[in-house]
Amino acid sequence: MSILRINEFRAHEGGGDTLRDRLKVFVPAIKASLGCLSCELLQSQKNPAHIVLLEVWESAEAHQASLKNIPPDEFKETMKLVAVPPTGEYYDYT
């Protein structure tokens, strides 16, 4: 069974577009990772500071292994744009 990973990010006030653009850079590396079935980046129309990254994976282990494909320094810089720590959770995907 596949899994869905929902990651939620909240940008600082007025920083939604900047955070979206920074996260968008990671999408090709995620999609190219072994076990990734899809990856979509969404920005709320009502609250542009709310960004969601939806990832479908063959397994949670494949997702965990893919984290090595994201440059740590770039990710650290991107996390400076969030107002609160991001959240993420796995869901059964049928």
- The whole-angstrom separation of Cα 89 and Cα 19 is 20
7 burial type by CB count under 10 A (0-12 exposed, 13-18 middle, 19+ buried) = middle
Query: Which CATH fold would you assign to the domain 2-84?
Result: Alpha-Beta Plaits (3.30.70)
- The whole-angstrom separation of Cα 45 and Cα 79 is 22
pTM to 2 decimal places: 0.92
Backbone angles phi, psi at 52, to 5 degrees: -125, 135
Amino acid at 74: E
Structure tokens given for 11: 């940008």
Tens digit of pLDDT at every position of the chain (94 positions)? 899 999 999 999 999 999 999 999 999 999 999 999 999 999 999 999 999 999 999 999 999 999 999 999 999 999 999 999 999 999 999 8
